[in-house]
Structure 1
Amino acid sequence: MNNIFNNFKQKSPKQRFLFVLGLVMILAYLIIASIFIFWESMPVTVPYSNRLAFGALLVVYAIFRFYRFNTTFKDE
């Protein structure tokens, strides 16, 4: 991961934009998952077990995205 940040200045503007967008999307999935898991009085009436399952699914997807993100930019 450290190598990614060292080579950040050598990338084209398109590659830098996609790098930042990838990080933002991973953070967005984690934030949405934490909202579903930890926010007690959500305006949406969904049972807590379903919200917990959906939040866990989002966390797993964020981990998968991070893995793909890491392997994609490690190869370059």
Structure 2
Amino acid sequence: MFTDNNKQKSPSRRFLLILGAVVFIAIFAWGLMVIFDDKLFSNLPKTQKILFGSLIILYAVLRISRIFKKNNDQV
């Protein structure tokens, strides 16, 4: 479970991890805004807004899972 690797992450890897987390939060929030905000995409029916927002949230989850998978593979 725990490795004996006490090396610190390089500043560039740490920055990319933080940037990935910020992008995840932004995309996830955008998906929630599409679903719950009535003024955003007001020309779409409610079911299409929910579907589109869900796809955006799914994309955010896939992005963050790839980031964590990449970091675990590099250790």
TM-score strictly above 0.5:
yes
Q: Which has the higher contact order (CA 8 A, sep 6+)?
A: 1
Q: Is the 8 A contact 2:41 2:49 kept in 1?
A: no
> How large is the Cα RMSD of the aligned pairs?
2.0
Larger Rg: 2
Question: Take 1:18 and 1:29, find their aligned partners in 2: how far apart are those partners?
Answer: 16
Question: Take 1:56 and 1:43, find their aligned partners in 2: how far apart are those partners?
Answer: 15
Unaligned runs of 5+ in 1: none
Corresponding pairs, count: 69
What percent of counterpart residues are identical? 33
Unaligned runs of 5+ in 2: none
Name 1:28's counterpart in structure 2: 26
TM-score by length of 2: 0.77
**1:17 alignment partner, one of 15, 18, 43:** 15
Q: Is the 8 A contact 2:34 2:40 kept in 1?
A: no
Amino acid at match of 2:30: I
Question: Take 2:73 and 2:40, find their aligned partners in 1: how far apart are those partners?
Answer: 43
